[in-house]
Amino acid sequence: MNYIGNLIRPPSEADSIILQVTVGCSHNRCTFCGAYKDVHFKVKPAATVYADIAFAKNHFAHKNRVFLADGDVLILKQDYLTDLFKVIRRELPQVKRISLYGSSKAITRKTREQLCELKSLGLNRVYMGLESGCNKVLKQVKKGDTVESMVAAGVKVKDCGLFLSVTILLGLAGAEASANHAVLTASALNDINPHQIAALTLMVLENTPLGRSERKGLFQMIGPGAVLKELYILVSNLDVKRSQFFANHASNYLPLSGRMPKDKYRILAEIESALADSRMLVPENLRAL
């Protein structure tokens, strides 16, 4: 397979065929993100992508999921995507699930009909990074989006019958705005009501603008106890109808998972226990992105 640069995929795509269609992220400005910092966004030549599909046909016939990397394949023109999905269907007929990252900008640019067309051609799952439900935080980290547009984008994805996974980032607001970030993020999640919520914990990377802000004393990452308190407030305020909830990414201090709302009080009790006993936490040096 032809892979360029850092290949980043959601944990739940570990067993998928990773088909790299674009390199980098079309936005690439979030101050906390070091994923594609030195990479200019580009679309790979169709011939390269189709050669990878041919390779996958010969070598990954046992795999029935495809993840389209990198950052924002959904931003591509509809014709490009429909052709691509048709080739995947034809060459990899065993594939039951095609997934990709979708920014709210990319989702907003697609009409409902276009999203539904992609669904009819095999698109099954969209991963969207909300990060925070607080517009002030989104502006500070240069997310380039508002809560309102991301909520609308998430609802649109769901309305087309697509599975929606939403990622949020604990610690992103720093200490002072931590509780507000938690309450507003829960509120945005309640409005979207995604099928899946993935709570990650911020790791400040040196090569990012946020890393530089931290070195200048302009931003301070909260400690593990404060992260857990933020998570507690977030979960307390969650009122989603039926969502899988994951806070078991390698960046998290306390691995948690469950179904909301069924497991809400069990998860809150687990956070309370960890707040009372820091030995339950993943040591700092074992956290990873």
The CA distance from 32 to 141, in Å, is: 7
28 binds ligand SF4 (CB under 6 A): yes
Binder of ligand SF4 out of 17, 18, 23, 35 (CB under 6 A): 35
- Of 20, 22, 103, 213, the one binding ligand SF4 (CB under 6 A) is 103
Q: What six digits make up the tokens of 58?
A: 């010969």
Residue 268 C-beta: closest distance to ligand SF4, Å: 28
Q: Which two tokens stand for residue 282?
A: 């993943």
Binding mask 232-261 for ligand SF4 (x = CB under 6 A): ------------------------------
User: Is residue 30 part of the contact set for ligand SF4 (CB under 6 A)?
Assistant: yes
Strands (E), 1-41: 17-20, 22-23
Q: Nearer to ligand SF4 by C-beta: 60 or 208?
A: 208
Task: Quote the DSSP letter at residue 195.
Answer: S
Q: Single out the residue of 71, 102, 154, 209 in contact with ligand SF4 (rule: CB under 6 A).
A: 71
- Does residue 277 have a cis bond before it (omega within 30 degrees)? no
Q: How many CA atoms lie within 13 A of 171 on its CB side?
A: 22
Site string for ligand SF4, 168-197 (x = CB under 6 A): ------------------------------
**Smallest gap from residue 129 Cβ to ligand SF4 (A):** 5
The count of residues in the chain is 289
167 binds ligand SF4 (CB under 6 A): no
Strand boundaries in 70-122, DSSP class E: 97-101
Q: Are 19 and 49 contacting, i.e. CB atoms less than 8 angstroms apart?
A: yes
Which residues of the chain form contacts with ligand SF4 (CB under 6 A)?
25, 27-30, 33, 35, 71, 103, 129
